[in-house]
Structure 1
Amino acid sequence: MPFVQSGRHNLHYADSHPSGPPTPTGLTFIFIHGLGSSQNYYFPVIHHLTASHRCITLDTYGAARSPFTGDQISINSIADDVLGVLDALHVTKAVLVGHSMGGLVVIELGVRYPDRVVGIVAIGPTHPSDTLVGAMNSRVGKVTEAGMEPMANTIPSAAVGSRSTPLQRAFIRELLLGQDANGYIALCGAISSARVPEYSAVHAPFLLIAGEEDKSAAMEGCQYILAHVGSQSKRMEVLSGVGHWHCIEAPEEVGRLIGSFAGELS
C-alpha cells in the first residue's frame, strides 16, 4: 500500500497520475474526507475527472489506514498534513475538495495558503457551532464506552437522505467500522475545537455542494459559508433527496458538478 510522509504522520494515499495531469490543460485535485470516512469515499466520483486530471486521495491522520500514534489533531494540523502531502508529491497548486470536516480543512488552506489553491470544492462543509460541539462530545462518550459499533449502527441510517439505498448505507457502515476508535475520538476533538474560519479571506473560485436533507451540515450553515466566502466566483448546488454522504448517495451528480467546475478552472 502506498504511504507518504507528512511531518510526523504516515498517510495512506492513492494517486491516479503520479507523473502529473494526463492532458496539457489538466489540473491536480486533492480530496479530503470527513469524520469516520476514508479516501474511498471519493472513488465513486473521481472517474469523472481522471481522463483529464490528476486525482490524489488520502486517509487523514488517525483515519482508516493512516495509523493513529497519539498526536493531538486539529483542523490546522490536518491542513498542515495536506500541504505536506502536496510538497512530498511535488504539487505546487491544486484544486482542493473537502467533505464535511474536510470542508473545514480546505477552507482553512484557502485562507492560509492562497497561492497553492486553484479552486475549492466544499461538500457539505462543517460550520463550527455549539450544536456541533455537543454532537461531537456525545460521539466521544459513545465511542469511548463501546468502540465504533454504536456509530456504525446509527449513522448509516440517520445521516443519509431519502434517496439512499441499502448498498450505500452498507458502504457507510463499512467506512465507520474501519476506523481506529482512538483516532476517531481525536478527530471528534478536532471538530469540536474548531473555530469559525476567516471565510472572507478565501478568494479562490468556490463551489459548495449541499444536500437538501443534510442534518449534519444544515442548509443554514452552508448558506452562511457561501455568503461570507470572499470569492468573486462562488456558487452553491443543492442535491435533492441527499443527506450528508453526498459522494456515496449521489456520485454521478457530484462527479458532474466537480467536472464542470474543473472545466471553468482549466
Structure 2
Amino acid sequence: MPSLNINNHTLHYADSHPNGAPEQGQTIIFIHGLGSSQNYYFPILPNLTTHHRCITIDTYGSARSTYTGQPISIASIAADVISVLDALSIPKAVAVGHSMGGLVVTLLGAQYADRINGVVAIGPTHPSSMLTSVMNKRSETVSEAGIEPMANTIPYQATGSGSPALTKAFIRELILGQNPEGYAALCRAIASAPVIDYSAVRVPFLLIAGEEDKSAPLEGCRVIFDGVSSENKKLEVLEKVGHWHCVEAPEVVGGIIAGFAGGI
C-alpha cells in the first residue's frame, strides 16, 4: 500500500487512478471517521471509480497511519488532506468526509475553497457540549481499558434498523484495528473541535444523514446544512440508516455521491 510522509508522520492511502482522473471526471478524496479506515469507503467505490479518481486515506492515528504521539486536531487533519493533494500534484478535489471526517471536509470547504471543488459531509458531527462530554469520556475509557469496549458496543448501538449482522461485524473489525492511543487522541480532537463558520462554505455541498443516526442526529445535521452559504446544496436523509452510512447502504450512498460529483 502506498504511503506519504507529510507533516512529520506517515499516511497510508489507496488511489484508484494514480495517473490522473478520467477525462471529465473529478478527483475525490475521502476522510473517514473515528475508529475507521479507508476501507469504510470501499463498498461505495464501484459507483464512482469508472468516472472519477478516488483517493482514500487512513487518517493519522487511525488504522495503518501509525500514531506517533503528535497532537491531532480537526485543523491538523484538514492540513494533512491539503498536503496529500500537494504531494500528488492535485490542484483541486471533491472532499468527502464521514462523521469526524465530516467536520474536516466542512472546514476544508470553509477555509480552502481554492483547493476544494465540492464537499460531501456524511453524518457530520456538530460540535456541542454534549459531544465534548461523550468524546472525553470515550477517550478515558479507551485509555484505561483498550479498544475492545468500543468494538463491543458501537457496531450495535450506532447502526440503523436496516443493518445486517455482516455490516456490524465489519464495523467491529474496523474498530478492533485501531491503536488505542491514536483512537483516544482522535476523541480529544473531536472534543476540542470549535464550531466551524458554516456560512464560509460556498462550494457545492451535499449532506447525507441517517434517519436513525444517534451519533450525528438529524437536528445537528440541519444546523450545519442551514448554515452553509452555498447556492448549490442538498440534504439527503436515508431511511433505516444509522451512523455508518457507507456500509449500511453502500449502493444508495455511492449513487448519491456519483450524481453530486457528476454535476459539479
1:47 shift after superposition: 1.1
1:28 shift after superposition: 0.1
1:145 shift after superposition: 1.4
Stretches of 4+ moved more than 6 A in 1?
none
Residue aligning to 1:10: 10
Q: How does 1:26-41 map to 2 (within 5 A)?
A: 26-41=25-40
Residue aligning to 1:231: 230
1:9 shift after superposition: 1.6
Deviation per CA, 1:136-179, whole angstroms, max 9, x where unpaired? 01111211111000000000000000000100000000000000
Amino acid in structure 2 at the alignment position of 1:146: A
1:213 shift after superposition: 0.2
Q: What is the number of equivalent residue pairs in this alignment?
A: 264
Residue aligning to 2:207: 208
Amino acid in structure 1 at the alignment position of 2:260: F
Q: How does 1:1-266 map to 2 (within 5 A)?
A: 1-22=1-22, 24-265=23-264
| Cα-Cα RMSD | 0.6
Q: Aligned equivalents of 1:145 and 1:61: distance in 2?
A: 21
Q: Aligned equivalents of 1:138 and 1:193: distance in 2?
A: 13
Amino acid in structure 2 at the alignment position of 1:192: A
Q: Aligned equivalents of 1:116 and 1:2: distance in 2?
A: 23
Amino acid in structure 2 at the alignment position of 1:170: A
Q: Aligned equivalents of 1:56 and 1:249: distance in 2?
A: 21
1:182 shift after superposition: 0.2
Aligned residue for 2:35, secondary structure, equals coil
Q: Is the 8 A contact 2:25 2:52 kept in 1?
A: yes
Structure 1: any 5+ residue segments left out of the alignment?
Answer: none
1:46 shift after superposition: 1.1
Deviation per CA, 1:69-105, whole angstroms, max 9, x where unpaired? 0001000000000100000011000000000000000
Aligned residue for 1:98, secondary structure, equals strand
Amino acid in structure 1 at the alignment position of 2:147: M
Q: Is the 8 A contact 2:60 2:77 kept in 1?
A: yes
Amino acid in structure 2 at the alignment position of 1:96: A
Q: Aligned equivalents of 1:199 and 1:5: distance in 2?
A: 31
1:235 shift after superposition: 1.0
1:6 shift after superposition: 1.7
Q: Aligned equivalents of 1:8 and 1:226: distance in 2?
A: 34
Aligned residue for 1:44, secondary structure, equals helix
Structure 2: any 5+ residue segments left out of the alignment?
Answer: none
Amino acid in structure 2 at the alignment position of 1:165: P
Q: Percent identity?
A: 64
Amino acid in structure 2 at the alignment position of 1:65: R
Q: Aligned equivalents of 2:199 and 2:6: distance in 1?
A: 28
Amino acid in structure 1 at the alignment position of 2:10: N
Q: Aligned equivalents of 1:264 and 1:88: distance in 2?
A: 27
Amino acid in structure 1 at the alignment position of 2:149: P
Amino acid in structure 2 at the alignment position of 1:185: A
Amino acid in structure 2 at the alignment position of 1:58: I
Amino acid in structure 1 at the alignment position of 2:195: V
TM-score by length of 1: 0.98
Q: Is the 8 A contact 2:25 2:262 kept in 1?
A: no
